Amino acid sequence: MGDACKSKVCNPPAPEASPVVKEKLAELVLDNDKLKKYIEIFTDNINRGLKKSTNPTSIVKCFPTYVQDLPNGTEEGKFLALDLGGTNFRVLLVELHGDQCEMKSKIFAIPQSIMTGSGEQLFDHIAECLATFCKEEGLEGEVLPLGFTFSFPLVQKGLTVGVLERWTKGFKCSGVVGNDVVQLLEQAISRRGDTKIDVCAILNDTTGTLMSCAWKNHDCAIGLIIGTGSNSCYVEKQANAELFDEPDMGSGEVLVNTEWGAFGDDGALDFCRTDYDKEIDKNSINPGYQVHEKMISGMYMGELVRLVIVKLIEDGVLFGGKGSDLINERDRFYTKYVSEIESDAPGSFENARQICEELGLKHAVDQDYVNLRYCCEVVSRRSAHLVSAGLVTLLHKMGKPVVTVGIDGSVYRFHPTVHDVMMEKMTELCDPSIKFNLMLSEDGSGRGAALVAAVAARKKDNSAPAPAAAPPSAEEAPAEG
């Protein structure tokens, strides 16, 4: 054994994907020149979204959220939160005491019949679950501030006014699109008459993530979701956010919801899209929309890898050119498989072998597992690189010297390398005078909604007029001269 190996066991180098596979997947590898082009185009898109004159035709909408202040640690008391973003929703009670936060929550199901019924049915169901929770927690006699996380596309017209633009995620409730969802919630609560709630804010999960992280880390100025979908929000100067039409409450800033999932819907990302991306889009429920999201998020990552695998099988360079019925089935290669395959130790194929067996690819050999891992890596790395370029765009736009990015979502939480890949690529692309770090959100959309309500309540208390002074008593009254 050589001198270098005497003190430790030498690990053999990890096996490499075959040159022909690397060559065929080269279009999925984004070099820094392409990422810098992305930054340039995305910067222009954000500036268009922020301006009144160009927002109507801008693809990246940059909606003001009307959140002007981040938590400062002085928020105290009990706050309620509703978190609606899918087939389950949560009601939370959050108690804040300085830097301490206690949370109780309950998950309620939303039956399929309600997801596709009337809006009145949906909000009556939410109000009923809220009343049940308040009764169980002994809150019937209290009027608590509530923050409402509503993770569907909203046009906000105030901190407590959010108009639904369109339903997603399998919801099709009638009578809601084009209406203010806060008003619909308040009407449902009023119909019951057994719960008293003060709805202080409506927000999406990106804003909730930023607020939740900012409560612990005051440098947090960007919120990011990389899960089933992808979106970001950031702190912008009110002077730049021309759609923001409320008085400055003192910070001079406002959170902006980029809605960056739509970036590229006008063809701006065609320079780095592939036939795999076009196939994903064509077979999606919303062809032509959310192009950026479809290159990044968990909803599409597994299917992108499956399309790559199928093409390599057709070309005879993977699995000996022999596929299976299951690998040819749309959406059958789950995004969790990508994380599991990339979690195998170098030279180990335990997860890859098991997944191949599940998919009827029992004829795979070791080199197939190596090539399969490479297929997963090029897709997940491209996702991480696109997100990195998007975040660097926001860092440069803000120009703050130190920024924490608060992040939530299953891809960031569970994929084994996405965090490290993002840190590496952002360091390469970012102005070195800006220091940044990435922070995993703890229960962002729930606690964040309560924190928005808490900040709104704090601001309301601070801006309340001081009580009028009582008239002086007889003893204090000045003597008449």
DSSP 70: -
Tokens of 106: 């309950």
Which residues 6+ apart lie within 8 Å of 119 measured at CB? 173, 174, 175, 176, 179, 184
Q: Which amino acid type is present at position 292?
A: H
C-alpha closest to that of 61 among 239, 226, 203, 242: 242
* Exposed / middle / buried, residue 395 (Cβ in 10 Å: 0-12, 13-18, 19+): buried
For the chain, the first-to-last Cα distance in angstroms comes to 109
DSSP 317: -
Distance of CA 97 to the CA centre of its chain: 27
Based on the residue annotation, tell me whether 36 is a catalytic residue of this protein.
no
Q: Give CA–CA dist 232/397, Å, rounded.
A: 14
C-alpha closest to that of 439 among 142, 213, 281: 213
Sheet holding 100-109, edge to edge: 100-109, 88-97, 77-84, 144-150, 197-203
DSSP 265: T
22, 170, 260, 372 from 333: Cα distances, Å? 21, 21, 26, 12
Q: Which amino acid type is present at position 399?
A: G
Out of 22, 51, 78, 169, the active site residue is: 169
Based on the residue annotation, tell me whether 237 is a catalytic residue of this protein.
no
DSSP 108-145: EE--HHHHTSBHHHHHHHHHHHHHHHHHHTT-TT--EE
Which residues 6+ apart lie within 8 Å of 414 measured at CB? 336, 339
Q: Where are the alpha helices (DSSP H) in 274-360?
A: 275-282, 291-296, 298-314, 335-343, 350-358
Out of 205, 281, 408, 443, the active site residue is: 205
Q: Give CA–CA dist 71/289, Å, rounded.
A: 34
Return phi, psi of residue 42, to 5°. -65, -40
| Catalytic site positions | 169, 205
